[in-house]
Amino acid sequence: MIGVLLIAVSSVQALQRAVGDCREGRFVEAWAAAQGAASPIERSCAETYVRYHAGDLEGALQAAETGLTLNPRDEYLNPTATELALTLRVVGSAARHLENWQRECPQTDEARCTRLRQELQGQREAESALLAAESRAKWGVLAGALLGVLGFFGLLGSHRSTSGRG
């Protein structure tokens, strides 16, 4: 699917070769082909594609973000960067790329866009739950430690005062 999209946005032979090599499992050759791309943006697209399929998701996201600085309207890089950021759970980055995709490319694939939006929402909720859990834990520890220390010195003090009276 992504391969078809990529081929659609670029007819450059180097990119086609990179896609073909990836399909054959020849990633070294695919990478070399990507380096021979005609323009920096095409090179970014090809690098993103090769790294994505080679399982280097962080590298693919980095390549996609480099490409988006060159062409923020790229129809392959915007959704791909969103998907990669969601896979890597980098919520802020995913939100930025999704928003950029919707703004810069009004003719987007609506079904894909809706799916990514839902996934982003799910990750935001999970992140809020995590922050809430962390906050509960911190306050719980603080309250418990305070209670323990106050209780300790309170009891110690009460013992001393009795001894004094005694």
Report the interface residues with other proteins, using CB under 8 A: 25-28, 31, 50-51, 54-59, 85, 88-93, 126, 129-130, 133-134, 136-138, 140-141, 144-145, 148, 151-152, 155-156, 158-159, 162
Q: What is the smallest separation between the CB atom of 152 and other proteins, expressed in angstroms? A: 5
Using CA atoms, how far residue 141 sits from 136, 144, 146, 155, 158, in Å, is 9, 5, 8, 21, 25
Q: What is the smallest separation between the CB atom of 9 and other proteins, expressed in angstroms? A: 22
d(CA 134, CA 156): 33
Closer to other proteins by Cβ: residue 93 or 109: 93
- Nearest Cα residue to 20 out of 35, 8, 39, 7: 7
Instruction: Quote the DSSP letter at residue 15.
Output: H
Q: What is the smallest separation between the CB atom of 106 and other proteins, expressed in angstroms? A: 26
